[in-house]
Amino acid sequence: MPISNLTALRRRLAVRGLTPAAGIPESRGGRTEEACIRPARLVEDVSLHCRSVGKAESWPEALAFLDGVQRMELVAYAGAAPIYVAGIAAAVRERQGDRLKTVTEDRRRLVIARPRALDAAGDALTGLATLALPEDEPPHPVRDLTQAARALDRARGQLELDVGRRFRLGSDCWLVVDGSLAESPGWAVDIRTIGVSKNHATLPFEGADLERYLRLPLGHRTSIFAPPSRSVAPVHAWALRLWAWEAKDLFHGLVRIEVAPANGVPATADLLSRWLLAERAPISTPDPRWDRLLYGIHSVEQYLRARAGALA
Amino acid sequence: MTAPPLGRVVATELKPSTPHQFHFWTARESPIGIGAIVRVQEAGRTVYGVVTDGFAYSDLVTPMHAVLGADGDPVAAGDEPTARAEIRLFTVAVLRQMPEEPLQPVPLGPVWLADDADVLLALRMDSYTGGERASGVPVGLYAAGGLESPVYLDCDFLLGPEAAHLNITGVSGLATKTSAVEFLLASIFQTFPRHKGSVAALCFNVKGPDLCFLDQPSALSDEDHRLYQRLGLRAEPFADVHYYAPLRPDGVNLNTLRTNEALAGNTEPLIWGLREVLDYAEVVLNRDDIDAKADAFIDFLAERVVGREYQDDMLRGRPFQVQSFADLEEFFRAIFDFMEVLGKGGEVWKTHHLATIRKVRNRLSNISTRSKGLVTDDGAANDLPWGSFADRGVYVVDVAGLDPLAQDLVFARVVSKLREHLERRDLGVEHVVVFVDELNKYAPGDGPETYVRKMLLDLSERGRYLGLVLFSAQQFRSQVQRRVVGNAGTAVYGRMDADELATPGYATLSPATKIKLATLPKGELMVRHPHFTQPIFVKFPRPPVLGGREGIERYPPSGDMPFAAAVARRLRSLDRRVSAEAVFEAIDGRREDDVRRALSATRRERPTDPLPYFVACLGRRVAGEVVLPWRGIPAVRRGEDGYGA
Ligand SMILES: Nc1ncnc2c1ncn2[C@@H]1O[C@H](COP(=O)(O)OP(=O)(O)OP(=O)(O)O)[C@@H](O)[C@H]1O
Ligand SMILES: [Mg+2]
């Protein structure tokens, strides 16, 4: 998803005495998250158990997928402070029959920089939404990059929320969200929304429970637990193994499912898990995360990248 | 223009647009198929092209991933909840770019299915279908996606002088080759423009009843009628058709399947005499064994003997009047008798060596035996109306029942005569389409050089300047002499055999086009024409004439009739008022040979009252000299001259 027409922008910035720059920050992927353990509270068993969910069952009704993409490019330095231009986009693709169709989407272009750098740029950036970086510490190109990436994550997350909300206004069909539901109080209570998270930077257990969690057999789920409500909304969750991990990696095929607390009951967890198992195929290769990336989510990502001009 | 586009051009580094080819994708459901004509329009440039190949694929990277996703179970693969993203990608060969200069790669624009106006431009038919001097001849309808457009051939390129000739190829029974030619002839006759002059067709019927009913209407379906209407043509059989068939060896029955009495009116015998044959002797006299000496003797016969009074007191007292093969044999006998009397010294007669004379006699005798029924023994020929061919006339020469050698003779003489008359501009028409079916038999790709093949080649190379045009058909184009088919400006293909398609002549066709050709339904054809940059698929209606098979059912051949009945039939064909009984009475007790002679005299004379004339001929001749029944010329003993027949 290259951001188009930056050359003219760089020229305008140069005219205003800034140092034009070009570069795509390395962390171009998804959200940045620090690895940690945040112990969760079991709501189903007294100690973590692995339960077979039964055979895969196809989703009985329409199903939609929500995801977003982001991309950031360096365009100039105001002194030592970098100025980034970023593009974010989010969409919902709904399965009608067996075909996915985009039903809601949105995209934005942003400038991310310290306010002073933005001032220096003057009217070169007119027309672009801005995201200001904190100025409590002196400019540091590397640290500012981390900050910008975080800000962009948040903006992208916000856009996903907006798009999801817009979709919800017109449809009450099941919606699978890429990642955690805990970002939004709306989602956290939406009984037709499911978060499927492939990121295990934050783990909910330690010790023997963690070992059991990570060695969850194929077609099994863990006991339902409630992650600590570190962010906005409390949800219920469990882990589900989509593909056999043995001989591969502990994380192979391991996803964390998040639902509104109302859905956090064993029967529902089993049912949703069976439905999700059916979503393993078609597999989303050539994406290297295909063991955890549902095809529907993959399709949204492909769509958004293609719309931005290139299949990144 | 108002319809939304159906696709969009895509180009990648690996599959770029070029000035001659491009790719576009469509929705999964679209009316685009192989052979569809499309238009790309972008930034002042319009490109027309024809779809030559199609591809579909999904985002699946390797088949292994499908196996993986279905846990190795093909049934489960069908249960996948989401269908993969997939593409319909088509390859298009460019037909025309507007503007033509500068020639550029096809722009990456939207793609529409061509409508009538587009098809006209795409095939450059705009240059010859409109205006005062339009020269378009409908060949069929291009059809795609519910749209249908007439496709025209340019008669300047079909019947000369710019280019000429048409060849059609395809498997037996399914390719509708003969039908297509019949349809196209009908189309030409209806649309050949006045300013181009007159046109006639000469068809050789080489196969059973194939072309025996060109003057009879066929039962056409509503769909056929609709196609005629769309093409602006009338579904009418040919109005002016003349049939010529040789006689059977009995000299009175016709050697054709068109013997039903209802059709006798325009069916005439084709009868040639010695004169007609001698002029084309070299056709049947295998070139290799005719040397200068034999040539010289044949020339001597043709110039000094045949058709004149030849006096040689050494041979006999009264002059020879050589009109027929029988007369010629008498002449040869006299020479041989004379030489025998001379004994040892009798090796050379009038500078001609005896062996040469024997050789020529053997060859000529061979002709008369193998062409019995075509060549008369009494010299009264009945020939095509050289000099008075009629505009829009169809002349069918039925050679289906003839010996191959006699067929060659007929081809050679008829085509040569056409050529002579067209050169002298006194045929009666300015253009003649000669239709030769089963071309592979007459102009095979391999085998010895024959007169007929050389003649067909010459016709294909030079005919267009004369208005002499060859329409030919065969099952396997690859089996026909390359240059003969190569010279055909217009090439048509019906359903094709896969093995034939694998031959080098079809290498330029895309695999998809080949598949389409191998599965083409009846009534659909692929056409190459000088104005069309790429081959185009069209459909055409059943011909407006009765086909051979149905014809035989509706007009069953009367079969060989007894002598008297056949004579009555011949006379009745001259005048319907003649009663069979009167004929029976007149010929009762007469020798068959006398009857034949009287019949041929009547036929030649075409009196207003044939019966009395016929009776008069009978009466006059019957008292004349005794003529032995014709038995052909006995061949000289085999091996006598090393050239035994
Ligand atoms: N336009 C048409 N649409 C559908 N069927 C047709 C059409 N024209 C001819 N046919 C049918 O196709 C059959 C074969 O036609 P035709 O005899 O012309 O084929 P051919 O290629 O000349 O065969 P062969 O090689 O045996 O001479 C006939 O039965 C005829 O009725
Ligand atoms: Mg045929």
| Per-residue model confidence as pLDDT tens digits over A222-259 | 999 999 876 667 899 999 999 999 888 899 999 999 99
CA distance B246 to B414: 13
Cβ–Cβ < 8 Å for B363, B388: no
Q: Is the pLDDT of residue B344 over 80?
A: no
Structure tokens at B549: 């098979």
If pLDDT is split at 50, 70 and 90, which confidence band does B120 have? very high
Domain shared by B258 and B216, yes or no: yes
Q: Is B83 on the interface with A (CB under 8 A)?
A: yes
Rounded percentage of chain A residues whose pLDDT exceeds 90:
72
> What is the DSSP annotation of B509-565?
S-HHHHHHHHTPPTTEEEEE-TT-SS-EEEE-PPPSB--HHHHHHHS----SPPHHH
Total domains, chain B: 4
- pLDDT above 50: residue B632: no
Q: Are residues B279 and B261 in the same domain?
A: no
Same domain, B261 and B281: no
Contact with chain B for residue A285, Cβ under 8 A: yes
CA distances from B489 to B95, B415, B484, B513 (A): 18, 20, 11, 20
Q: What is the pLDDT at residue B644?
A: 36
B363-379 pLDDT, tens digit each? 888 878 888 888 876 65
**pLDDT band per the 50, 70, 90 thresholds, residue B427:** very high
pLDDT band at B216 (very low <50, low <70, confident <90, very high): very high
B551 in ligand 1 pocket by Cβ < 6 Å?
no
Q: For B345-402, write each residue's pLDDT tens digit.
A: 678 888 888 888 988 888 888 878 888 888 876 657 789 999 999 999 999 999 999 9
Which of these ranges, A266-270, B301-305, B414-418, B457-461, has the smallest mean pLDDT?
B301-305
Percent of chain A scoring above 70 in pLDDT: 94
Tell me if A156 sits within 8 A of A90, measured CB to CB: yes
The overall longest dimension of chain B from CA atoms, in Å, is 108
What's the whole-number average pLDDT of chain B? 88
Atom of ligand 1 nearest to the CA of B182: 18
- Number of residues assigned to chain A: 312
Question: Which residue, judged by its Cα, is nearest atom 25 of ligand 1?
Answer: B172
Which residue did the predictor score with more confidence, B286 or A297? A297
Does A22 contact B at CB distance below 8 Å? no
pLDDT of residue A168: 95
CA distance A208 to chain B (A): 31
**B401 and B540 belong to one structural domain:** yes
Residue A179 and residue A293: Cα distance in Å, rounded?
A: 10
In a domain, B509, yes or no: yes
- Whether the CB of B172 sits within 6 Å of ligand 1: yes
Pair B451, B545 in one domain: yes
Please answer yes or no on whether A98 and B65 come within 8 Å at the CB atom: no
Distance (Å) of CA A104 to CA A3, A160, B449: 21, 10, 76
Give residue B467's Cα distance to chain centre. Answer: 16
For residue B155, name the pLDDT band (cuts at 50, 70, 90).
Answer: very high
For the Cβ of B547 lying below 6 angstroms from any atom of ligand 1, the answer is yes
Query: Residue A309: what pLDDT?
Result: 58
**B159 in the same domain as B102:** no
Among residues B445, B418, B478, the alpha carbon closest in space to that of B204 is found at B418
Give CA separation, B624 vs B249, B584, B618, B627, in Å: 24, 22, 10, 9
Structure confidence at residue A231 (pLDDT): 63
Between the alpha carbon of residue B500 and those of residues B35, B481, B510, the distances in Å are 20, 15, 15
Contacts of A136 (CB under 8 A, 6+ apart): none
For the segment A163-177, the average pLDDT, to the nearest whole number, is 95
A residues 57-96 near B, CB within 8 Å?
A: 58-59, 63, 95
What is the enclosing helix (H) or strand (E) of A255? strand A254-259
Q: What is the pLDDT of residues A81-118, one digit of tens each?
A: 999 999 999 999 999 989 999 999 999 999 999 999 99
Give the Å distances, CA to CA, from B58 to B62, B92, B528, B555, B625. Answer: 10, 21, 35, 59, 93
**Residue B136: strand, helix, or coil:** strand
Is position B633 within any domain? no
**B169 within a domain of the structure (yes/no):** yes
Beta bridge mates, B369: none
- Check A100 against B82: CB less than 8 A apart: yes
Same domain, B458 and B397: yes
Q: A292 near A242, Cβ under 8 Å?
A: yes
Is A291 an interface residue toward B (CB < 8 Å)?
no
Q: Is residue B397 situated within a structural domain?
A: yes
Q: How many CB atoms lie within 10 A of CB B512?
A: 18
Q: Which of B522, B550, B553 to mutate to test the pocket of ligand 1 (most atoms within 8 A of CB)?
A: B522
Same domain, B569 and B497: no
Structure tokens belonging to residue B31: 């009316």
What mean pLDDT, rounded, does chain A reach? 90
Q: Which long-range contacts (CB under 8 A, 24 or more apart) does B536-539 make?
A: B536/B35, B536/B37, B536/B50, B536/B123, B536/B142, B536/B151, B537/B35, B537/B142, B538/B139, B538/B140, B538/B141, B538/B142, B538/B143, B538/B151, B539/B140, B539/B141, B539/B143, B539/B227
Is B61 in Cβ contact with A281 (below 8 Å)?
Answer: no
Residue B273, pLDDT > 90, answer no
Mutate to test the interface with B, among A96, A99, A311 (most CBs of B within 10 A): A99
Tell me the C-alpha distance between B354 and B336, whole Å.
Answer: 8
Q: Is B67 on the interface with A (CB under 8 A)?
A: no
Yes or no: say if B546 and B237 are a contact pair by the CB < 8 Å rule: yes
Instruction: Compute CA distances B108 → A180, B41, B85, whole Å.
Output: 41, 9, 22
Is pLDDT at A29 greater than 80 in this prediction?
no
Q: What is the pLDDT of residue A32?
A: 57
Using the 3D structure, point to which of B525, B551, B577 is the last residue of a domain: B551
d(CA A33, CA B496): 66
- Nearest-angstrom CA–CA distance, A123 and B398: 92
pLDDT score at B623: 42
ipTM above 0.90, yes or no: no
In short, whether B521's Cβ falls inside 6 Å of ligand 1 is no
Lowest mean pLDDT among B2-11, B329-338, B589-598: B589-598
Q: Which ligand is nearest to the CA of B543?
A: 1
B548 lines ligand 1 (CB under 6 A): no
| Contact flag B69-A58 (C-beta cutoff 8 Å) | no
Beta strand A63-78 pairing with A174-178:
parallel
The residue assigned the tokens 């993409």 is A69
Cα–Cα dist A297/A95, whole Å: 11
Model confidence band, residue B574 (pLDDT cutoffs 50, 70, 90): confident
Task: Kindly tell me if the per-residue pLDDT of A265 is higher than 90.
Answer: yes
Cα of A303 vs its chain's centroid, Å: 15
Residue pair B365/B634 in contact (Cβ under 8 Å)? The answer is yes
Mean pLDDT of B444-452: 87
- Clarify whether residues B187 and B236 are in a common domain: yes
Please, are residues B595 and B583 in contact by the beta-carbon 8 Å criterion? Answer: no
Look-up: residue for tokens 């929304």? Answer: A193
Please report whether residue B469 resides in a domain: yes
Residue B198 identity: S
- For the whole model, what pTM was predicted? 0.83
CA of B538 to the centre of ligand 1 (A): 15
**pLDDT recorded at residue A92:** 97
Which of A96, A242, A275, A285 to mutate against chain B (most B CBs within 10 Å)?
A285
User: Closest partner residue to B81 among A278, A285, A286, by Cβ?
Assistant: A278
- Pair (B546, B433) in one structural domain: yes
Residues B81, A59: C-beta atoms closer than 8 Å: yes
Over the stretch B41-95, which tens digit does the pLDDT of each residue have?
A: 998 999 999 999 999 999 998 898 888 888 788 888 888 888 999 999 999 999 9
Strands B524-528 and B490-493, sheet pairing: antiparallel
Residue B286 has a pLDDT of 60
Average pLDDT for A282-301: 93
Residue A182 scores a pLDDT above 90: no
Range of the structural domain that residue B227 is part of: 149-267+391-551
The phi and psi torsions of B215 (rounded to 5 degrees) equal -100, 5
Q: What is the DSSP string of B441-459?
A: HHSBSSS---HHHHHHHHH
Helix-strand-coil percent breakdown of chain B, rounded to 5? 40, 20, 40
Q: Which atom of ligand 1 is found nearest the CA of B475?
A: 25
pLDDT in tens, B169-192: 999 989 899 999 999 999 999 999
What pLDDT does B641 receive?
42
Residue type, B146: G
User: Who's near B82: CB < 8 A, 6+ residues apart?
Assistant: A95, A98, A99, A100, A279, A282, A295, A296, A299
- Asked if the structure places residue B629 within a domain, the reply is no
Q: Which comes out higher in pLDDT, residue A69 or B273?
A: A69
Give yes or no: residues B261 and B409 share one domain.
yes
For residue A216, the 8-state DSSP code is P
pLDDT of residue B645: 34
DSSP structure class, residue B303: I
| Residue B68 host element (H or E) | helix B63-69
> At a CB cut-off of 8 Å and minimum separation 6, what does B338 contact?
B314, B315, B346, B349
SS3 state at A62: coil
Per-residue pLDDT for A28 more than 50?
A: no
Q: How far is B509 from chain A (nearest CA, A)?
A: 34
What is the three-state SS of B217-230? Answer: ECCCCHHHHHHHHH
Contact A282 B61 (CB under 8 A): no
Any atom of ligand 1 within 6 Å of the Cβ of B479:
no
The answer to whether the Cβ–Cβ distance between A59 and B60 falls below 8 Å is no
Distance CA B5, CA B462 (A): 47
Residue A299, chain B, CB below 8 Å: the answer is yes
* Secondary structure element (H or E) that encloses residue B97, with its range: strand B86-98
Any ligand 1 atom below 6 A from CB of B179: yes
| CATH at B173 | 3.40.50.300
Ligand nearest to the CA of B541: 1
E runs forming strands in B340-390 = 348-349, 352-353
Cα–Cα distance for residue pair B150/A299, rounded to 1 Å: 44
Task: Please tell me the predicted confidence (pLDDT) of residue A310.
Answer: 40
* Residue B587 in domain: yes
Say yes or no: B74 and B153 in one domain.
no
Q: Does B85 touch chain A (CB under 8 A)?
A: yes
pLDDT tops 50 at residue A195: yes
Nearest to B152 by CA among B185, B181, B187, B182: B187
Name the one residue in this structure whose structure tokens are 């994550």: A153
Across the interface, of B59, B77, B83, the residue whose CB is closest to A99 is B83
* Cα-based distances in Å from B629 to A16, B379, B604: 120, 15, 21
